[in-house]
């Protein structure tokens, strides 16, 4: 038999494109269209409906960037269409290849009832099925003219990312606005041919099944009269019945399709636009659920649910009904799909507290799966946080984006730093926007790495990033794939149903230990420094606010600010979304974030100071409030007192050197700064150890060219290291105004740096305050500390502990981690002596090592802190302006020292005057146990909640003592629900606790 395969396949493509798809809507009449352009920001629905529009014609330009236009479309269904299905086709000027990334609309009836959303893959509104003929049609469209930021030529700088710079040029051309007859038989034929054609293309050329499909398709095309497609579609479908009804083989891979619309809470659009994106998508999905009885849709991010509730109550009513039916599923149990590398311990915990509590309060739903398809890697402390929140499973897709190494599993146990294991699944379909294409389904089957032990995977199905969700066409394709020979089987399921089946099928999966590092998007640890500083500052201010407010409530009866703290926490958590905190959103998002963080800082400072005044009383006694979890200068952790044993002001000596530099000496550390403003020596006299490597200089600013191959704000590629400029020229190196510090000024490019190096009396740490007036483009600024240390690994703080990373690059896995995340410290050591670098606001860093030559034998291990970048997409002005950073070099530091100094630099003392000292609400007698939160219980009971963990990586036996009468103690989960075996034994207010390495524990203390 002659091989005519390519002939038939080409015929299928052309007939589908040019004859059959156009016949889905065989008849149409135009609608009348009028438009009103809302001035400024979006207006309430009632105002948009009441506005008087002006006529507009198809083909007219509309929509200034970020504008809102209210279209009114009217018309009459022709009498001749009686008995047929009629839809309105409303094309705002869509490019169907960009769902979620351009203009969108929400359709309303005249009474304000939302109908459904409009987007490039969903342009129809059902008028009637069937119609009687003669119906008057009147619809209103709230259309958002969101500009295209990520265009076909991506990553090019654009002013469109902020309404203040975007201009007023119309963005779109109004396209089709018609009433049309829908021929559902032709629509079904399109899906038949698409599914079979896509399946056929994925089967082996010599497969009998492929040939069977080819011949069936050929017979179907023969049955189509190209001049009368609508009249012959039934006949063509009949010829496909056999190949569409052939069942899958018993060993076929099983795919659980979960309706999905990944919606970035902010990214290439501002937060206010996400509110509307979620409403459009929810309206679409509730409508689709009504039409498709097998369909199931899952939506994550409690914040997005809250937006629908608060801003679109009509849509919310439909959502609640669908949730009650078990088909619109709350997923994930987090406030937002956050970054998980940079949020601090408490913030990561509160993502689950607020997310899970929202779904419990609103729907009585307990989420046990964590849904993070697009997050840029996962910190090693996360598994125990998931477990402590009462969750069991994790789903993500993003690790498939790794550039260097292919992750070896799709279903596995992920083990965190404390030994907690979480059942984890990476969908082998390798997308969170599955559209049921044959190529996607076949890829999932081929790609699944756990074949032979498991045969079940999940496919998040629907258009996402900018929302939109699943379409009726995708549901139709999934129905044909339910049990089809040559394909995986597909069925709609909830995330819970999938995980229960997958876990039962694979009871002993492989184990991955440690962080899930994404070998991509490493620069998100540095981009948009002000956003990251705002987050860090907010996290620590919240700690202080809860601590002092709880102490004041217990000690003085002062009302605890439940509502204020709840609102502020949710705002901070929102800004930890995985395109806000990582710095990968448009300028508008980060401009608003800066203003929000400033407002929150003011509010939290007021809460803190009011509580401290209530605690201290009116008086003139000088007091220091210490919110850190360790005592300092005689002030207990969580208390206030007059500092004891304060070193005299002259405890640090500053001496000028002949070379133009200075020496700082406080008896605990002697630091030499040369005429370049570089630290050439940091000598620890107690250990008789030099910190700085021979011939090297610390406090060295280094500038790199930084132009990644793509994803500018997200990526830094390894070749950035190929070129570096050491910023060694100093305009001046002088004594600081206090007479015991060194001031350094430098200029480079269009930028300036001012640094203050200080060595406080009685402290073994060199503090480096850096101010950068940054005006570079496509550059990367690092601060280097070459250390005289031989260390094969280093400790990097993460949530509720630290993770160790190698300093070498033996394997490709290690080499790929050339930029990594830390929280407050990194620490390196040889047995008996180490060094820490602590920070108040930076996350990105790298650690490398070199072996020195014969003239200075030994190993140099260099820690470099990432300060600033200057990518031009999506914000062309990223980080331009003044930035301030504080770091400290701590010679002789153990992990314990690093933990303590990291907290201290982030929680500076607060000074006040009052009438009395303030005793801590709780104390712990073991420095290895770090208290991360002291607060009142969220239920308003007045109980005190204390959260703590073992911070050094060993066992701990400690006594926690309450500074108030205690009636009972309970171990709880993160949501403050009982999680142990009942009451915790105690002796009065003394509670004995035993902790495993890095173990997290929450206690609820009932007050007498």
Write the DSSP string, 641-703: EPPSSPPPGGGSEEEE-TTS-EEEE-SS-EEEE-TTS-EEEEEETTTTEE-BPTT--BSEEEE
Q: Taking Cα atoms as reference points, which of 892, 885, 903 lies closest to residue 824?
A: 903
Q: Phi, psi at residue 408, to the nearest 5°?
A: -80, -10
Beta-bridged to residue 865, according to DSSP, are 783, 845
Q: Taking Cα atoms as reference points, which of 728, 737, 773, 774 lies closest to residue 756?
A: 737
Beta-bridged to residue 663, according to DSSP, are 655, 672
| Whole-number Å distance between alpha carbons of 114 and 280 | 9
Beta-bridged to residue 145, according to DSSP, are 67
Write the DSSP string, 146-207: ---SS-SSTT---GGGSTTTS-S---EE---EEEEE--HHHHHHHHHHHHHHHHHHHS-TT-
Confirm if 454 and 177 have CB atoms less than 8 A apart. no
| Whole-number Å distance between alpha carbons of 367 and 371 | 10
374 is catalytic: yes
Alpha helices in 557-586 (DSSP H): 562-574
Q: Taking Cα atoms as reference points, which of 930, 922, 895 lies closest to residue 799?
A: 930
Beta strands in 304-406 (DSSP E): 328-330, 369-371, 393-395
Please, what's the b/e burial string for 19-45 (b: 16 or more CB within 10 A of its CB; e: otherwise)?
bbbebbbebeeebebebbbbeeebbeb
Handedness of CA 932, 796, 689, 648 (dihedral sign): negative
| Whole-number Å distance between alpha carbons of 989 and 959 | 10
What SS3 string covers 89-148? EECCCCCCCCCCCCCEEEEECCCCCEEEEEECCECEEEEECCCCCCCEEEEEEEEEECCC
Beta strands in 552-596 (DSSP E): none
If one counts every other C-beta atom within 10 angstroms of the C-beta of residue 735, the result is 14
Rounded CA Rg of the chain: 31
* Residues ≥6 apart with Cβ < 8 Å to 443: 428, 429, 430
- Sheet architecture: strand order including 124-128: 28-30, 177-181, 86-90, 124-128
**Tokens coding 796:** 């990097």
Confirm if 310 and 363 have CB atoms less than 8 A apart. no
* Residues ≥6 apart with Cβ < 8 Å to 922: 638, 931, 934, 944, 946, 960, 961, 962, 963, 1005
| Whole-number Å distance between alpha carbons of 31 and 176 | 9
* Residues ≥6 apart with Cβ < 8 Å to 714: 376, 520, 521, 523, 524, 527, 582, 584, 708
**E strand or H helix at 286:** helix 271-291
Confirm if 334 and 351 have CB atoms less than 8 A apart. yes
Confirm if 934 and 1003 have CB atoms less than 8 A apart. no
If one counts every other C-beta atom within 10 angstroms of the C-beta of residue 931, the result is 23
- Choose the catalytic residue: 91, 212, 264, 374: 374
| Whole-number Å distance between alpha carbons of 208 and 216 | 12
Q: Which residues are catalytic?
A: 374
């Amino acid at each position: 038999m002659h091989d005519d395969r390519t002939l038939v396949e080409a015929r299928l493509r052309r007939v589908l494109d040019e004859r059959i798809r156009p016949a889905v809507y065989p008849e149409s009449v135009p609608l009348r269209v009028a438009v009103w352009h809302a001035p400024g920001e979006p207006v309430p629905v009632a105002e948009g409906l009441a506005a008087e529009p002006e006529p507009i014609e198809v083909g007219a330009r509309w929509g200034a960037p970020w504008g809102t236009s209210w279209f009114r479309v009217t018309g009459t269904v022709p009498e001749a269409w009686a008995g047929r299905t009629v839809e309105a086709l409303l094309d705002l000027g869509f490019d169907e290849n960009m769902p979620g990334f351009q203009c969108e609309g929400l359709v309303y009836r005249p009474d304000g009832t939302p109908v459904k959303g409009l987007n490039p893959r969903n342009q129809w509104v059902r008028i009637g099925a069937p119609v009687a003929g003669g119906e008057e049609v009147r619809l209103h469209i709230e259309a958002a003219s969101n500009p295209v930021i990520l265009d076909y030529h991506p990553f090019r700088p654009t002013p469109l990312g902020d309404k203040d710079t975007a201009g007023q040029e119309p963005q779109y051309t109004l396209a089709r606005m018609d009433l049309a007859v829908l021929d559902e038989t032709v629509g079904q034929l399109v899906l038949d041919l698409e599914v079979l054609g896509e399946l056929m293309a994925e089967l082996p050329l010599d497969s009998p099944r492929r040939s069977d499909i080819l011949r069936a398709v050929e017979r179907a095309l023969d049955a189509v009269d190209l001049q009368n497609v609508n009249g012959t579609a039934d006949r063509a479908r009949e010829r496909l019945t056999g190949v569409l009804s052939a069942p899958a083989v018993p060993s076929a891979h099983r795919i659980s399709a979960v309706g999905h619309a990944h919606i970035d809470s902010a990214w290439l659009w501002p937060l206010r636009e996400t509110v509307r994106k979620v409403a459009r998508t929810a309206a679409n999905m509730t409508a689709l659920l009504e039409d498709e009885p097998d369909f199931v849709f899952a939506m994550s991010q409690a914040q997005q649910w809250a937006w629908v509730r608060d801003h679109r109550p009509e849509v919310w009513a439909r959502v609640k009904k669908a949730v009650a039916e078990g088909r619109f599923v709350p997923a994930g149990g987090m406030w937002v799909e956050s970054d998980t590398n940079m949020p601090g311990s408490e913030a990561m915990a509160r993502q689950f507290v607020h997310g899970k509590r929202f779904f419990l309060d609103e729907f009585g739903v307990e989420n046990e799966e964590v849904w993070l398809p697009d997050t840029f890697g996962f910190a090693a402390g996360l598994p125990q946080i998931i477990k402590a929140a009462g969750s069991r499973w994790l789903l993500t897709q993003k690790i498939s984006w790794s550039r260097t190494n292919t992750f070896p599993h799709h279903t596995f146990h992920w083990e965190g730093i404390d030994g907690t294991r979480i059942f984890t699944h990476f969908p082998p379909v390798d997308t969170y926007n599955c559209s049921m294409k044959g190529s996607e389904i076949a890829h999932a089957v081929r790609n699944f790495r756990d074949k032979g032990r498991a045969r079940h995977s999940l496919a998040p199905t629907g258009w996402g990033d900018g929302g939109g969700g699943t379409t009726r066409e995708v549901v139709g394709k999934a129905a044909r794939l339910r049990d089809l020979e040559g394909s995986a089987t597909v069925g709609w399921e909830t995330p819970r149903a999938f995980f229960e089946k997958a876990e039962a099928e694979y009871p002993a999966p492989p184990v991955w230990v440690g962080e899930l590092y994404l070998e991509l998007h490493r620069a998100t640890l540095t981009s948009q420094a002000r956003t990251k500083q705002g987050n860090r500052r907010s996290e620590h201010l919240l700690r202080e606010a809860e601590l002092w407010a709880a102490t004041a409530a217990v000690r003085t009866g002062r009302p605890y600010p439940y509502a204020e703290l709840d609102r502020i926490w949710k705002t901070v958590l929102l800004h930890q979304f995985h395109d806000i905190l990582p710095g990968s959103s448009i300028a508008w998002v980060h401009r608003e974030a800066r203003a929000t963080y400033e407002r929150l800082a003011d509010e939290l400072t007021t809460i803190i100071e009011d509580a401290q005044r209530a605690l201290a009383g009116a008086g003139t006694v000088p007091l220091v409030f210490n919110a850190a979890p360790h005592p300092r200068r005689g002030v207990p952790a969580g208390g206030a007192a007059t500092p004891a044993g304060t070193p005299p002001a002259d405890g640090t000596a500053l001496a000028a050197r002949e070379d133009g530099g200075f020496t700082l000496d406080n008896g605990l550390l002697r630091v030499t700064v040369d005429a370049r403003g570089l630290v050439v020596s940091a000598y620890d006299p107690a250990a008789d150890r030099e910190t700085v490597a021979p011939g090297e200089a610390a406090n060295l600013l280094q500038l790199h060219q930084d132009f990644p191959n793509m994803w500018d704000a997200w990526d830094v590629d390894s070749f950035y290291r190929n070129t570096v400029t050491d910023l060694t020229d100093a305009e001046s190196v002088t004594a600081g105004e206090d007479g015991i510090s060194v001031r350094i000024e430098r200029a480079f490019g269009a930028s300036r740096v001012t640094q203050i190096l200080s060595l406080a009396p009685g402290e073994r740490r060199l503090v480096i305050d850096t101010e950068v007036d940054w005006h570079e483009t496509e550059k990367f600024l690092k601060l280097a500390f070459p250390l005289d240390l031989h260390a094969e690994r280093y400790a990097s703080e993460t949530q509720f502990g630290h993770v160790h990373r190698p300093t070498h690059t033996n394997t490709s896995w290690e080499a790929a981690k050339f930029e990594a995340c830390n929280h407050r410290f990194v620490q390196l050591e040889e047995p008996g002596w180490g060094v820490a670098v602590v920070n108040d606001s930076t996350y990105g860093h790298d650690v490398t090592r070199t072996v020195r030559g014969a003239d200075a034998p030994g190993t140099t291990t260099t820690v470099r802190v990432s300060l600033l970048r200057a990518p031009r997409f999506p914000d062309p002005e990223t980080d331009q302006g003044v930035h301030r950073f504080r770091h400290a070099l701590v010679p002789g530091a153990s992990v314990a020292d690093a933990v303590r100094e990291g907290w201290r630099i982030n929680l500076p003392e607060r000074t006040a005057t009052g009438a009395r000292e303030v005793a801590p609400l709780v104390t712990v007698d073991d420095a290895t146990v770090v208290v991360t939160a002291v607060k009142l219980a969220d239920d308003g009971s007045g109980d005190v909640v204390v959260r703590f963990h073992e911070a050094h990586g060993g066992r701990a036996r400690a006594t926690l003592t309450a500074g108030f009468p205690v009636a009972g103690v309970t171990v709880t989960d993160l949501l403050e629900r009982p999680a142990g075996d009942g009451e915790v034994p105690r002796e009065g207010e003394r509670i004995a606790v035993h902790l495993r390495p890095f173990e997290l524990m929450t206690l609820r203390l009932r007050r007498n």
